[in-house]
Amino acid sequence: MPGLFYSPDRVWQVVAYLRSLAQRETPKGDAAHGAALFASRGCAGCHRVAGQGGRSGPDLTQIGSSRSVRHLREAMTNPDADVRQRYWVVTARGEDGRPVNGFLMNEDTYTVQLFDDVGNLRSLSKPGLRDYAVAKKSKMPSFAKLPAAELDNLVAYLGSLRRPGGVR
């Protein structure tokens, strides 16, 4: 397909979307209860929906349009299973010993770019760092211990967050 260039992240989203169409399954929970749990269980502290909420996790405003029910459930019960590079966790220490933590944006042999804990984009020179490590792990805690009915309700709520006018 000449002239069609997608960033790796975009390609990944398209693949996930096509996969989700193939695996469409209707969630059995109650979306309204799920919305209340989203606030009371602390999800909104890290995730934004329609402009409200925290920024330490992905914006979930349209998550139901691109993810299968199975993926949504697994994201809560086993967050480390499938972490996009944008959310890999960098822990570093500068020459002054001060810690710099954040999400990996990009890296090459000599530099690393990351979104720090307050969401600023930073570029660090690797030779100037005392410690440097990247973990392909999620910053999201596991919610596997929530009662099954609460998980169902949260999945129903997430599944209802769709692109306006998108494919159902």
Binding to ligand HEC in span 79-138, by CB under 6 A: 79, 83, 87, 138
Q: Shortest distance, CB of residue 62 to ligand HEC, whole angstroms?
A: 10
Which residues, other chains included, contact 127 with Cβ-Cβ below 8 Å and sequence gap of 6+?
110
Does residue 124 contact residue 137 with C-beta atoms inside 8 Å? no
With binding defined as CB under 6 A, does residue 75 bind ligand HEC? yes
Distances (CA, A) of 7 to 14, 16, 24, 41, 152: 11, 14, 26, 34, 33
Q: Is 58 in the site for ligand HEC (CB under 6 A)?
A: yes
For ligand HEC, the closer CB: 75 or 124: 75
Check residue 57 for interaction with ligand HEC (CB under 6 A): yes
- Give whichever of 56 and 113 is closer to ligand HEC, judged by the CB atom: 56
Give the residue among 120, 122, 89, 119 at the shortest CA–CA distance from 104.
89
Kind and range of the H or E element at 55? none
Tell me whether residue 78 or residue 111 sits nearer to ligand HEC (CB atom).
78
- Cα angle 34, 72, 19 (rounded to 5 degrees) comes to 140
* Interface map 32-51 toward ligand HEC (x if CB under 6 A): ------x--xxx-xxx----
Shortest distance, position 126 Cβ to ligand HEC, whole Å: 24
Question: What value does the CA radius of gyration of the chain take, rounded to a whole number of Å?
Answer: 18
Could you count the other beta carbons within 10 Å of the beta carbon of residue 88? 19
Could you give the CA distance from residue 163 to residue 54 in angstroms, rounded to a whole number? Answer: 20
In the complex, the smallest distance separating the C-beta of residue 142 from ligand HEC, rounded to whole angstroms, is 10
| Interface positions, 131-150, toward ligand HEC (CB under 6 A) | 138-140, 143
Binding site for ligand HEC (CB under 6 A): 38, 41-43, 45-47, 56-58, 63, 67, 72, 75-76, 79, 83, 87, 138-140, 143, 154, 158
